[in-house]
Structure 1
Amino acid sequence: MISAEVVHNDITFVLCQGTGPDSQVSRLIDGYGPGVAHIALAVDDTERAMAELKEKGVPFDTSVIKGPGLTQTFTSRDPNTGMSFELIQRSGQAGFLDDNINELFSQLEESGSY
């Protein structure tokens, strides 16, 4: 995957391009077309927010992924649009950590989300 970040004030857009037909990004586009893959929502407590949403019937494709200063989780993709929501809690970490990204893609592969 090739990616680039576009930042404006408190909003960050991450643009992604698959590097081969079997990459997760390429498979997502094949399945749903180009567009927004997910929207990240800042929360104060990722685990609590996930539990509250699960109680309301919201399905998740990942467990809570933890790294130094960063925890995140992803809802299941909408079957029509392919879009999901990310719940993200930051405490000092501004960017994204390679270990978190690797764990995310591993869990998404296991859940068949792409």
Structure 2
Amino acid sequence: DGFRRECEYVLWGSRGDPLRHAPTIYLPGWLEGSQPRGKARVHITQKPESIMRQLVQIAPAGGLVLDPCAGSCTTGVAALAEGRRFIGIEGSPTYATTGRERLTAAA
């Protein structure tokens, strides 16, 4: 009983002054999507790629996206699809392998 777990928060940061887009990009404050289903879901907290593709656009084209809890690397797949570079950190060897495979397939 209680509240449904229906949202997650995004943490964004930069080292030094953030790079500015020309023209300026403003992402919506609320994004909706559902976790992948069936065989497309390879991680228990996997994010929708469509949402991650929007979020990585805050980094300029060619910019670097860091995900310190990479899981199955949906953020990395989205970053590559949107023309960004990616560094992912994952503590689970199983998910690190899954993430590497997904990144290789995306590249």
User: TM-score scaled to structure 1, two decimals?
Assistant: 0.35
Q: Which has the larger radius of gyration?
A: 2
**Structure with greater strand share of residues:** 1
User: TM-score scaled to structure 2, two decimals?
Assistant: 0.37
